[in-house]
Structure 1
């Protein structure tokens, strides 16, 4: 992708031109605009690299010679050249100088990232136009809220950031309203709320039961002075409805909205293409058609943004993040191979994240490689390979010991020890022989929330739950040999890195971030 921004040539004239040259020559503001652009790129993509591309160097894009000539009052322009798929970096041209933005991580930049970068350019373009009085919009409208809020709003509502626009973005106003409410309490409790902003589609949605009432208020930060408004919508079940003019027109039950807006022939329980936390499935469904956007201030004081049937952005831990769940779920699904199992584990990770519970979900295509190395034999739910992994299937002399140890292992698992107090192994029978594909989702989430890892084979059969993962990465010869006892137990991230060498892993942090690990590397965060 390329962004190309070119100012007009400086004008020369009499004393007045020389006196106000700093304002008449846009080059005086080049460093400001470039600095702001790169600062804000890094706020969305921490760890990204911004490299200068020499004008004559081999890294300069082939299309760099295409120059924009000022004219028609449009001196500050944005040009895009998009490639299919994901790229490690994108090239941009700012005021004639070329740079490359290189993303951190193995996934690179996708279509959603490119769309955001394009929106950042559009917002800066509008700032430029307002500064030189080439737009009728007031600069005060762009100063309401944080710059990052406007980038997100421009990504979702690009029509509100063109030079011809005179009204503020409804999305930016809604974000500012939720930000302000997040700083307030009502009856000593944090405020949770949300809004459904109608899209630009033609005609009025059938779900709007009545026209905009006379005297309807603008949905903006000024409404936050009404304390009763803080409890009128909870954001989870009820939402404010904002029409195309930015007016607060109604309060709706999001589930009933979805039921009315369901496409003809779609089953009531039809699943989303990309999994979403069950608490917000209706919010995602409400945005699948018509260009609607749903914003929610959650109990964790996060601002969640839904558009196109998925959660696209989240404001958490002091910054905005681009989620792109479709690409990340596709990568996870390909790694797991079984689409049903991939969806179950992905959904489970989202539910744990929403409840702020940590977890580690491990898929082991070949259990024989992990029992006794990654997973302790006593943590295995009576898997038939446990004895082979400990003693080695190629050692006949070990068969007697294997049978004896297996019998002791079964006794421990059933809680029939020598009068010892029951342990976690005493309840293994509750999950023995079960599959993640047939267990109720709530049961899978309960098992995954226990301290330790939830492990399943490639077909979904449950191998272990609440298992403290070990690692013994000493090389194994032609035959299997007993692992050494010098194993190490570390933090959840360390365990995820080690486990991912045996199969795909999802790690859920207690701060709500879901991470995917493949082949010993973190490939994405959600």
Structure 2
């Protein structure tokens, strides 16, 4: 495909190769094949799979945590090559969610890595690759994971926590630490900031829109002009979320319903939900000059009371503070 020799692919492959190595053919080939797969559909569904690359396969196999993963050898003398995903079994049997091919620098297929307890990992864990954290901690040379997902995009996770996302033929960089550090500086504890970012990434991956405000003070909240739904029953449902923590709502999975039901969800720095489904009053001074869609205008207005985190339906995550856009990540 044309993107195989694209400048973006070369840059990403060279980054994944690392300074010590001279050959970036294998990383580039992996990127190209996973990109090609992301553009395919089979029986109406997107084709997905995943590759774990290691430059030190012997160390990888020796150090792999057998309580978390199974590594099944494949009786195959060939190598990972062009058109590897040309037949359905290659991506149906190894889906890039709970199973991944392990490939070394010589393109040898070491085996199929399977997660032993896939139900132990939530959508939030998977959005930030927590289900493969132990793999990145092996210190088996250069290691990265490349997957094709249900949105027809490619995600590459590196050992240093950096995510690279290929979408619409372009690469973008997503560093979870940027938002985590910003929230910590704002006053959140590390565990809560980390959970919120995994939540944002999960909603982005699902291609839902949402707007979350972390207020500076529980006593100063944005003025509401109404609520989403407009019925007494909707109002009653909205009250169910009040007083719960983000952690509790994530464990019950209701946080997805709370955030993606439209409107503004407000929490304090301890992660307690103060309100949900609010329509922000945009009639204040200076708000009429804000451009963009309704969610962007609401995010700017809400950010005057704290940190507003907006997820767009097509993936990007934007952070606003004091009326300004301070972080934007394409996903």
Q: Structure 1, residues 58-79: CA drift from partner, whole Å, max 9, x if none?
A: xxxxxxxxxxxxxxxxxxxxxx
After the TM superposition, which residues 48-87 of structure 1 pair with which residues of structure 2 at under 5 Å, given as runs?
Answer: none
State yes or no: 1:493 paired with 2:304: no
Which of 433, 456, 478 is matched with 2:267 structurally? 456
Q: Structure 1, residues 219-257: CA drift from partner, whole Å, max 9, x if none?
A: 12232333432322111111111123211232221x249
After the TM superposition, which residues 396-475 of structure 1 pair with which residues of structure 2 at under 5 Å, given as runs?
Answer: 422-441=232-251, 442-474=253-285
After the TM superposition, which residues 370-385 of structure 1 pair with which residues of structure 2 at under 5 Å, given as runs?
Answer: 370-371=221-222, 373=223, 375-376=224-225
Aligned twin of 2:168: 317
Distance 1:188 1:472, change over 3 A: closer
CA distance in 2, matches of 1:342, 1:224: 38
After the TM superposition, which residues 338-357 of structure 1 pair with which residues of structure 2 at under 5 Å, given as runs?
Answer: 338-357=189-208
> What SS does structure 1 have at the residue aligned with 2:203?
helix
CA displacement at 1:294 relative to structure 2: 0.7
Aligned twin of 1:288: 137
Aligned twin of 1:122: none
Q: Structure 1, residues 324-354: CA drift from partner, whole Å, max 9, x if none?
A: 2223321222124343442332222122112
Which of 72, 83, 97 is matched with 1:222 structurally? 83
Which structure ranks higher in relative contact order (CA pairs < 8 Å, sequence separation ≥ 6)?
Answer: 2
Distance 1:181 1:470, change over 3 A: same
> What SS does structure 2 have at the residue aligned with 1:180?
helix
State yes or no: 1:197 paired with 2:53: yes
After the TM superposition, which residues 29-428 of structure 1 pair with which residues of structure 2 at under 5 Å, given as runs?
Answer: 144-158=4-18, 162=22, 165=23, 169-200=25-56, 203-206=59-62, 207=64, 216-253=77-114, 255-256=115-116, 277-278=126-127, 280-289=129-138, 290=140, 291-308=142-159, 310-371=161-222, 373=223, 375-376=224-225, 422-428=232-238
Q: Structure 1, residues 277-324: CA drift from partner, whole Å, max 9, x if none?
A: 458421344223323211000010111111116342110132101212
5+ residue gaps in structure 1?
1-142, 259-267, 381-419, 476-487
CA distance in 2, matches of 1:145, 1:192: 22
Q: Residue 276 of structure 1 contacts residue 310 of structure 1 at CA under 8 Å; is this kept in 2?
A: no
CA distance in 2, matches of 1:312, 1:464: 32
CA distance in 2, matches of 1:184, 1:438: 38
Aligned twin of 2:310: 507
CA displacement at 1:457 relative to structure 2: 2.4
Q: Residue 96 of structure 2 contacts residue 148 of structure 2 at CA under 8 Å; is this kept in 1?
A: yes
Q: Structure 1, residues 464-501: CA drift from partner, whole Å, max 9, x if none?
A: 111111234349xxxxxxxxxxxx99511111112111
CA distance in 2, matches of 1:212, 1:436: 43
Q: Residue 204 of structure 2 contacts residue 317 of structure 2 at CA under 8 Å; is this kept in 1?
A: yes
- C-alpha RMSD over aligned residues: 3.4
CA distance in 2, matches of 1:284, 1:469: 39
Aligned twin of 1:85: none
> What SS does structure 2 have at the residue aligned with 1:512?
coil
CA distance in 1, matches of 2:163, 2:128: 16
Q: Residue 379 of structure 1 contacts residue 464 of structure 1 at CA under 8 Å; is this kept in 2?
A: no
> What SS does structure 1 have at the residue aligned with 2:177?
helix
CA displacement at 1:200 relative to structure 2: 3.6
Misfit runs of 4+, over 6 Å: none
Distance 1:185 1:439, change over 3 A: closer
Distance 1:218 1:298, change over 3 A: same
Q: Residue 284 of structure 1 contacts residue 311 of structure 1 at CA under 8 Å; is this kept in 2?
A: no
Aligned residues: 312
Aligned twin of 1:517: 320
CA distance in 1, matches of 2:89, 2:244: 49
Distance 1:461 1:187, change over 3 A: closer
> What SS does structure 1 have at the residue aligned with 2:10?
helix
Distance 1:229 1:422, change over 3 A: same
CA distance in 1, matches of 2:21, 2:292: 52
